[in-house]
Chain A
Amino acid sequence: AQSVTQLDSQVPVFEEAPVELRCNYSSSVSVYLFWYVQYPNQGLQLLLKYLSGSTLVESINGFEAEFNKSQTSFHLRKPSVHISDTAEYFCAVTGSDFNKFYFGSGTKLNVKP
């Protein structure tokens, strides 16, 4: 089974600063990779995903993530964060059958004014 590691449980950052949320996974087979975001009292929402092709994927609200096969990583970055980005971020990979998610333990991003 795949496993996903999000080393940082909490990341405090000031508004307009850059941020990187780290995600590493263990898998020797092709997988799909995702970042989901959870705002307080809401379900998880898809932020971005990597299926194939270009290793850099972007979301509509300025986040990007880069698939690095050699390092088995899929780190999430944003060059300038907003207060509204405060949320919990979950990295996920699919199983080898591509029919279920394996999630990391989440990173709580706290953007301060």
Chain B
Amino acid sequence: DTAVSQTPKYLVTQMGNDKSIKCEQNLGHDTMYWYKQDSKKFLKIMFSYNNKELIINETVPNRFSPKSPDKAHLNLHINSLELGDSAVYFCASSPEQVLNTEAFFGQGTRLTVV
């Protein structure tokens, strides 16, 4: 069983569209994250949720809206997609907010905006 699963794996869409990426973890972790990997391979934190509560919002445009219906799911909705949103988006989870244990990452969603 996949610990952290993201769907879809690939997403190609036109500018201006609205799209969602879903993430689910079956590890029983309390904390989930979204990271964005840009074209230079840097991964940057976008959001963090702990038990469905937003903990970190790292100066991300408000076109990006995370939603956590329960602590096993953290979805990312993006409105009015722009070319610069093209990136690989990684979902991750960890047992708690303090990162002194292993964080598990999904396979990533490669978003291409054309």
Write the residues of chain A forming the contact surface with B, with a CB cutoff of 8 angstroms. Answer: 32, 36, 41-46, 49, 51, 88, 90, 94, 98-106
Residues of B within 8 A of A45 (CB): 105
A41 x B99 contact (CB < 8 A) = no
A-B contact pairs, 15 of them (CB 8 A): A36-B105, A42-B107, A44-B90, A45-B105, A46-B102, A49-B102, A51-B100, A90-B43, A98-B97, A99-B56, A99-B97, A101-B35, A102-B45, A103-B43, A106-B41
Q: Interface readout for B37-58 with A: 1 if CB under 8 Å, 0 if not? A: 0001111110010000001101
Known: A41-B107, A43-B107. A100 touches B48 (CB 8 A): yes
B-side interface size class: 20 to 34
B103 x A32 contact (CB < 8 A) = no
B91's closest neighbor in chain A, by CB?
A: A43
Write the residues of chain B forming the contact surface with A, with a CB cutoff of 8 angstroms. Answer: 4, 33, 35, 40-45, 48, 55-56, 58, 90, 92, 97-100, 102-108
A101 x B103 contact (CB < 8 A) = yes
Partner of A99 from B41, B98, B107 at Cβ < 8 Å = B98
A43 x B97 contact (CB < 8 A) = no
